[in-house]
Amino acid sequence: MRVHFSIQQLIAGATLAALSALTSLAQAQVPKPNVVVLATGGTIAGAGASALNSATYAAAKVPVDKLLAGLPELANVANVKGEQVFQIASESFTNTQLMTLGKRVSALVKQADVDGVVITHGTDTLEETAFFLNLVVHTDKPIVVVGSMRPGTALSADGALNLLDAVTVAASKDAAGKGVLVTMNDSIQSGRDVVKSVNLKVEAFRSQWGALGFVIEGKNYWFRAPVKRHTAQSEFDIDNINELAPVEIIYSYGNVPRTGFDALAKTGIKAVIHGGPGNGSVADRIVPALQAMRSAGIQVIRSSRVPEGFVLRNAEQPDDKYDWVVAHDLNPQKARILAAVALTKTDDSKELQRIFWEY
C-alpha cells in the first residue's frame, strides 16, 4: 500500500528534524560548570598492595591529577581543575590545615569562573572540616567534601563514584544555598549533621537527622534542607579569622579522675568540651574541676558521647547556676569546631549558648 504525504506533512517533518538537530547542537554548546577539586589526602588518595586490601593500605599517596585522570566521566559533568592543597591522612589535620583550606575555598568561591568546589579528604576528620567550612565560608555556591572508605586499588573501591557524585553536586544549581555538603555512598549529607558512624564499611557516614538527599546516576534527589545557620548566613567569616581559639575535649567515663581536667586547665585553653555519658552528665567529683575551670575564665561546654539525641540545658546539671553551655546535638569533635570559631568573636557564655542553638 503506498502512503502519500501531503506537502504540509513533509514540511512539518523536515522542520521537526531541523529543530531536533538545533536543540542537540545548542545543548552541546551550553557551557559546562567550572568545578575546582582541592585535594588534601586520605583514603580516596590511598593505595594498597593488592585488590584484596580494602582496609590495609597507605592513605594520601595518589596526587590529584592522577585521581582526576582516572575518572574521564568527570568531563561529562563539568570543567574540572585540581589543586593539591595537602597530601596527608586527615587524623593528622591541625587548626592550621583547617585555616589554610578555609581561606583557599573562600578565595575560589569569590571567582566568577568557579561554580562549585569539591574537597577530597580523609574520612577520619571529614565531619570536622565539613562543619568548619559550613560555619566560615560566605557563599551560596556548592561546596562538597568527599572521601572514600576503600583505596582506589581495592576491589569495589568507592572513591571514584563518590568523587563523580561530589563533582555532580558541586556543578548543580539545585545544590546552592544548602550549606556545605558531603557525598558518600550515594547520599548527600549536611556537613553540619554528618558523622562517621562505622569505621570499616562504605556506608560509614550518616546524620541522625537524615540525609538531605541522594545522587543517583548523575541526578540529585533532594528531600530536605538544613535549618541551622550556615555559609552565607553565618556571622563568622574565614576572611576575618586569623587563628582559631584553643579548645580541647575531655572524655568522661566511670571512674574518671580529675587529673586530666586539672592538667588541661593549665594549658591556656579558652574552652573545654566535656564529652559526658548520657545527657552530657558530669560525675559529682568532676563538677568542682569544671567549676574551677569556669572561675579561671575557661568556658565549659557540655557535649555527650552518646551518638544520638541532644544535650538539654538545666536537665541533670544546673547549667544556669554554673554558667555552663550545652552543645545541643553536636558531638564533642563538632562542638570543639564551633567553640573554636565562636570564641574568635565572643567570650560571653550567653552569646555562646545562642550560637550553639543557632548553628
Which residues are marked as active site? 43
In the complex, the smallest distance separating the C-beta of residue 45 from ligand DAS, rounded to whole angstroms, is 8
- Rule CB under 6 A: choose which of 34, 97, 123, 168 binds ligand DAS: 123
Vertex 109 angle, CA 108 and 114, to 5°? 80
Q: Is 264 helix (H, G, I), strand (E, B) or coil?
A: helix
**How many residues sit close enough to ligand DAS to count as binding (CB under 6 A)?**
10
Residue 278 burial (CB count, 10 A)? 13
CB-based contact 100:73 (threshold 8 Å): no
Closer of 96 and 314 to ligand DAS (Cβ): 96
What x-and-dash track marks residues 141-170 binding ligand DAS by CB under 6 A?
A: ------x-----------------------
Closer of 15 and 50 to ligand DAS (Cβ): 50
- Rule CB under 6 A: choose which of 62, 89, 157, 282 binds ligand DAS: 89
Residue whose C-alpha cell reads 541533670 in the numeric block: 316
What x-and-dash track marks residues 90-119 binding ligand DAS by CB under 6 A?
A: xx----------------------------
In the complex, the smallest distance separating the C-beta of residue 317 from ligand DAS, rounded to whole angstroms, is 33
In the complex, the smallest distance separating the C-beta of residue 185 from ligand DAS, rounded to whole angstroms, is 13
> Would you tell me the crossing angle of helices 126-136 and 95-109 to the nearest 10 degrees?
50
Q: How many residues does the chain have?
A: 359
Question: Rounded distance, CA 58 to CA 32, Å?
Answer: 35
Q: What is the bridge-based pairing of β-strands 181-184 and 143-146?
A: parallel
In the complex, the smallest distance separating the C-beta of residue 57 from ligand DAS, rounded to whole angstroms, is 9
DSSP sequence for 147-205: --SS-TTSTT--HHHHHHHHHHHHT-GGGTTS-SEEEETTEEEETTT-EE--SSSS--E
Residue showing the smallest CB distance to ligand DAS in the complex: 122
Residue 203 binding ligand DAS, by CB under 6 A: no
- Rule CB under 6 A: choose which of 35, 36, 39, 42 binds ligand DAS: 42
12: cell is 512539518
- Rule CB under 6 A: choose which of 35, 37, 59, 241 binds ligand DAS: 59
Q: 52: which residues sit within 8 A by CB, 6+ positions away? A: 154, 155
Footprint on this chain of ligand DAS (rule: CB under 6 A): 42-43, 59, 89-91, 122-124, 147
